[in-house]
Chains A and B, each alone.
Chain A
Amino acid sequence: MSPADKAESFVTKSFLIDIITRDIGIMDAILELVDNSLDRAVEVYKIDVTRSLTEEYNFTGDLRLPQPITVNIHVSNNEFTIEDNCGGITRVDLEHEVFIFGFPKEGSEYTGLSAFGIGMKRAFFKLGRMVELRTRTGQDETAITWDIEEWMNRGDEDWDIPFSMIEDSRLHFNYELPGTIIRIGNLNSSVKTRFDQTEFMSTLKNRLRTSYALFLKSGIKIMLNGEELTHSLPSFFTSDEINYTSKYSREKDVDIRMIVGITPIDDRMPRGWYVFCNGRMVLEGDKTHLTGWGTILPMFHPKFNHFLGFVSFSSFNVKALPWSSTKWGVELDSPVYMAALEEMRLQAVPILNILDRWKDIRDDDEPAVTALRELLKEGQTVSVFASARVESRFAYKPKKDRPDVVRISFVKDRELVQRVKEALGNPRMNNSTVGGMVFDYYVESEMD
């Protein structure tokens, strides 16, 4: 055999599967499939859900569709199904695009959710080993049954996935408008375990309600195991004394809307930053370095629990958006994000400074942050949608009579304290009164 004049180089299927599923969670994989459905709807119906931030927007009515655009998810411990009526995938796209690894669309004309050309395949691998897909558009209909084990056993030369006969498909459309059904069976064992946990299902529900809040607000219907989900986002607090910032800016070809303020008194969740790309949430209540905490902002601390920041990026150019490839997280080095992060910091600092002022009042036997509670007593709760509608600037004008006090606590020798009490004429006086009197004494005798 003559010596070869080249070094072999190729990718094996097992390596690919291993590497692309490593960084993605099961929940993120499910959201990838929802993204895929919604991406089609956005493209077909030219929907722009970020409009829901600034106007009363319901595209179902606007387009006079016979039924709401719906994504219906069904999770059980032996299979995962997702059906939509979002427009379906053409046969040509299936032949030449959808199953190619890393084939992102170029130069799209809509605010899509498909950015990297990897999401759907990665989600399939993450969830199970048997994928059935049936889809129809206005023009054609296609079915695929992809036995991933069999496909892997075929070796690393043959990567194609054959179409199957439509008549043989076990999947049946439930919607009038064209769309896609995907059923994933032979679930991976870790997936089965997670699907069995009530906590996982509750978290999934909440993630869907926040992640797609803008879609739900715009008239998209998302069902999870038969339940129709409603959108859920934290709200801002405003009053005569304190307001939030709401501003719009544009960086490269990305529109950025930012709202920064504090949450109402009855919101007991520690908040942080909520970041959206083309209407899809990529960070929920973030308190990490991804939104500047501990780098350009102070470390997150319970005293900042009422801080709430909302940032929405939107663009036709999905690659300019700062989402990470798993769409759960942001790309810190993205120039758009770097600029936005500075603006986020700028708007956050005055609010954090005010929240920081109140930390001194915290005490174990007192309701925490009394001054903040006082301030939050009278005012209104404003949804993200209402607050995005009008530009506004952060303002803090405390009423003159608002007490501006701090708590002092210190430790002293018990016997000595008792002697001071006696010297003050009341041996049974409580400790905090002694402290107060001692302080008053200093003020009276030493201060100008």
Chain B
Amino acid sequence: MASYEKIDYLLRPSKQVERKLFIETLQKLAKAGYYIHDYTYFGLGSIYYADFILFHKYLHIDSMICAEIDLIPKRMEFNKPYEFIQLMMEPVSQVIPKLDRGKKHLVWLDYDFSIHEGILSDIRSCIHVLAPGSIILFTVVSDMRSLMNSIDPPEAIGLTEEQKKERVAPVLNELIGIHYGEEIKTKDLATNRLPKVIAKSLRNFINSCIVTREGLKFFQVFNFRYRDNLQMLTIGGVIDYGDSEGKLEQSGIYNLGFVTQEEEPIQISVPPLTIREKIWLEKNLVQLEGHLADNCTLPESMPFESEVQPIKNFVKYYRHYPSYYETLV
């Protein structure tokens, strides 16, 4: 089943927070000489085109390319929100060589599966073709279950769940071990550790790909992990000349709490909330923030149950938390 069949893209609150964090950061970059509104956005829209709509509305991008491989050309064309989106019913690997090398791009390859050769190949291709100043974002599923399911048959046939779990580390070692820099062990695949393994491997991989682009460097800006359903990891940043550090610094992005140059991803998961819950949390933000700074439990006054980390993240990212109401059209 394609991921758009499972859930309306807009209804995933953490994904929506991620999109808005991108926007906030890119708006800052725009003021420091990265004129994002002149960029071409290249993404995987699916039938909802959620990122396309947001990036047009808030970043004023009006040159956009959408790649789609599912055989739904009519549906993709029908749902296209803007005329200027160029829809390409081709695999990403076929679209990348056609990107204009003289133009800056904002690229978000938001995959709905876990890391495999094809993703590494697409990343490598992007690094090779994108003009200096371009911004790249790569999102992959970073979840043990999904990795277990991605073990290729015939290897996977007849394996028990436990055996499959044990196969994941060797499979990952073969795929990204040399980029991770040390042997990936089964204990590294725990939910809280796996994102870092993937993030570190991907960023080392990007750095090793960029050496063939003379004078260019990858400046990491984004390293997120979050979960609506499956745990996701996003690594991203700017491809630019080696001396761009100052320009990036000046933009103020490094003062944003969710921008990191570290290997350890920042957790941005927010909880699914009812409207009543959301309103209560917003009303009590100051008090909550104070409490959470000193304690590692939620205050007694909380009128509903929740885990601590999602509430902490809500307090951080409440401005980006989406509101949903039923719309009768």
Mark A residues whose CB is within 8 Å of B.
Answer: 245, 296, 298, 335, 338-339, 341-343, 345-347, 349-350, 353, 393-394, 396
Residues in B neighbouring A346, C-beta threshold 8 A:
96-97, 125, 128-129
Q: Which residue in A245, A298, A339, A353 is a CB contact (below 8 Å) of B93?
A: A353
Residues in A neighbouring B211, C-beta threshold 8 A:
338
The answer on a CB contact under 8 Å between B117 and A349 is no
Residues in A neighbouring B98, C-beta threshold 8 A:
393
Cβ-closest 7 pairs across A and B: A350-B94, A342-B128, A338-B212, A349-B93, A342-B212, A346-B125, A350-B93
Specify the main secondary structure of chain B where it touches its partner.
helix
The size of the chain B interface, using a CB distance under 8 A, is 16
**In the complex, A394 Cα to B117 Cα: how many Å?**
22
**In the complex, A337 Cα to B129 Cα: how many Å?**
16
The answer on a CB contact under 8 Å between A347 and B97 is yes
**In the complex, A343 Cα to B90 Cα: how many Å?**
19
**Which residue of the partner chain A has the closest CB to B96?**
A346
The answer on a CB contact under 8 Å between B124 and A350 is no
Beyond the given A338-B212, A349-B125, A350-B94, could you list 16 further A-B residue pairs with CB under 8 A, ordered by the A residue number?
Answer: A245-B97, A296-B124, A338-B211, A341-B212, A342-B212, A343-B128, A345-B125, A346-B96, A346-B128, A347-B97, A349-B121, A350-B91, A350-B93, A353-B94, A393-B98, A396-B94
Q: Is B214's CB within 8 Å of the partner chain A?
A: yes
**Which residue of the partner chain B has the closest CB to A396?**
B94
Query: Given A350-B93, A353-B93, do A345 and B124 touch, yes or no (CB 8 Å)?
Result: yes
Smallest CB separation, B101 vs chain A (Å): 9
Interface 0/1 of B143-177, CB less than 8 Å to A: 00000000000000000000000000000000000
**Which residue of the partner chain A has the closest CB to B98?**
A393
The answer on a CB contact under 8 Å between A394 and B94 is yes
Residues in B neighbouring A296, C-beta threshold 8 A:
124
Residues in A neighbouring B125, C-beta threshold 8 A:
345-346, 349
**9 pairs, A vs B, C-beta closer than 8 Å:** A342-B124, A343-B128, A345-B128, A346-B97, A349-B121, A353-B93, A393-B97, A394-B97, A396-B94
Chain B residues numbered 13-54 whose CB sits less than 8 Å from any CB in chain A: none
The answer on a CB contact under 8 Å between A335 and B93 is no
**Which residue of the partner chain A has the closest CB to B122?**
A349
Residues in B neighbouring A345, C-beta threshold 8 A:
124-125, 128
Residues in B neighbouring A350, C-beta threshold 8 A:
91, 93-94, 97
The answer on a CB contact under 8 Å between A353 and B91 is yes
**Which residue of the partner chain B has the closest CB to A249?**
B101
**In the complex, A394 Cα to B97 Cα: how many Å?**
9
Chain B residues numbered 75-129 whose CB sits less than 8 Å from any CB in chain A: 90-91, 93-94, 96-98, 117, 121, 124-125, 128-129
Residues in A neighbouring B121, C-beta threshold 8 A:
349
**In the complex, A341 Cα to B124 Cα: how many Å?**
12
**In the complex, A393 Cα to B90 Cα: how many Å?**
14
**In the complex, A341 Cα to B209 Cα: how many Å?**
12
Residues in B neighbouring A298, C-beta threshold 8 A:
117
The interface centre, meaning the residue of A245, A346, A347 with most chain B CB atoms within 10 A of its CB, is A346
**In the complex, A342 Cα to B214 Cα: how many Å?**
13
**Which residue of the partner chain B has the closest CB to A448?**
B1
Residues in B neighbouring A338, C-beta threshold 8 A:
211-212
Smallest CB separation, B99 vs chain A (Å): 10
**In the complex, A396 Cα to B94 Cα: how many Å?**
9
Smallest CB separation, B116 vs chain A (Å): 12
**In the complex, A33 Cα to B125 Cα: how many Å?**
40
**In the complex, A341 Cα to B213 Cα: how many Å?**
12
**In the complex, A298 Cα to B117 Cα: how many Å?**
9
Smallest CB separation, A362 vs chain B (Å): 16
**In the complex, A350 Cα to B94 Cα: how many Å?**
5
**In the complex, A393 Cα to B212 Cα: how many Å?**
23
Residues in A neighbouring B93, C-beta threshold 8 A:
349-350, 353
The answer on a CB contact under 8 Å between B94 and A339 is no
**Which residue of the partner chain B has the closest CB to A349?**
B93
**In the complex, A63 Cα to B113 Cα: how many Å?**
62
Residues in A neighbouring B91, C-beta threshold 8 A:
350, 353
**In the complex, A339 Cα to B97 Cα: how many Å?**
15
Smallest CB separation, A241 vs chain B (Å): 14
Smallest CB separation, B67 vs chain A (Å): 12
Smallest CB separation, A77 vs chain B (Å): 48
**In the complex, A326 Cα to B63 Cα: how many Å?**
49
**In the complex, A236 Cα to B212 Cα: how many Å?**
29
Smallest CB separation, A256 vs chain B (Å): 14
**In the complex, A338 Cα to B125 Cα: how many Å?**
14
The interface centre, meaning the residue of B90, B97, B121, B124 with most chain A CB atoms within 10 A of its CB, is B97
**Which residue of the partner chain A has the closest CB to B101?**
A249
Query: Given A298-B117, A346-B128, do A339 and B96 touch, yes or no (CB 8 Å)?
Result: no
Smallest CB separation, A337 vs chain B (Å): 10
Smallest CB separation, B2 vs chain A (Å): 13
**Which residue of the partner chain B has the closest CB to A353?**
B93
**In the complex, A298 Cα to B94 Cα: how many Å?**
17
Residues in A neighbouring B96, C-beta threshold 8 A:
346
Smallest CB separation, A11 vs chain B (Å): 36
Smallest CB separation, B95 vs chain A (Å): 9
The answer on a CB contact under 8 Å between B214 and A335 is yes
**Which residue of the partner chain B has the closest CB to A298?**
B117
**In the complex, A39 Cα to B93 Cα: how many Å?**
41
